[in-house]
């Protein structure tokens, strides 16, 4: 029946997303995340946000980039994994109508912020654990922030989760400090 076909399709999509997340986690834990040369991460940021914008949440992710290059020795693919996981989490777990704001600063900070319920400090402290979600009824695998945290740990970066957003009474914000060009850290 049609209903069963839709259920099977949804199950296959969930399995595909889970497999992608597990592959990203394996890369975060074992792959090369920093290169011997720097690249401008604004390019990767644009590609990821354009790709996400072509999905269901088309106009919800906004991207603010500086005019000057944001140079880092982080592998652009690894940066893309970080950005995609952060934005997809924000779209899935935040407000269903408010935009997700993505900012890449000249001093190499990636900030992803969204509107939504305030999370307790206890919940925030658990969110980077594997398979942890903010609520039992929440969709998602619980791997997105674990992947980001694993990458941050491997490259010696700082990952900061805040709720509410600074200067606000609601929402969620993640700040990920990116490494500089080779020899700058």
The 10s digit of each residue's pLDDT in 151-181 is: 898 888 888 989 888 888 889 999 999 998 8
Residue of 16, 15, 63, 19 whose CA lies nearest to 41: 63
Contact call for residues 178 and 157 (beta carbons, < 8 A): yes
Q: Which two tokens stand for residue 101?
A: 């704001």
pTM of the model: 0.78
Higher-scoring residue by pLDDT: 37, 4: 37
Rounded CA separation 152/146 (Å)? 10
């Amino acid at each position: 029946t049609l209903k069963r076909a839709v259920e099977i399709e949804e199950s296959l999509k969930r399995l595909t997303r889970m497999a992608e997340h597990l592959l990203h986690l394996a890369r975060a834990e074992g792959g090369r995340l920093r290169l011997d040369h720097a690249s401008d991460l604004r390019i990767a940021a644009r590609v990821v946000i354009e790709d996400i914008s072509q999905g269901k949440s088309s106009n919800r992710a906004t991207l603010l980039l500086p005019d000057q290059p944001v140079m880092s020795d982080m592998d652009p693919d690894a940066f893309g994994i970080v950005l995609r996981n952060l934005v997809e989490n924000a779209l899935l777990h935040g407000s269903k109508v408010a935009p997700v704001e993505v900012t890449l600063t000249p001093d190499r900070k990636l900030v992803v912020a969204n509107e939504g319920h305030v999370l307790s400090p206890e919940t925030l402290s658990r969110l980077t654990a594997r398979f942890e979600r903010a609520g039992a009824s929440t969709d998602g695998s619980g791997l997105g922030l674990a992947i980001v945290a694993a990458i941050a740990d491997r490259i010696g970066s700082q990952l900061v989760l805040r709720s509410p957003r600074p200067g606000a009474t609601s929402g969620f914000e993640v700040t990920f400090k990116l490494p500089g060009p080779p020899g700058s850290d």
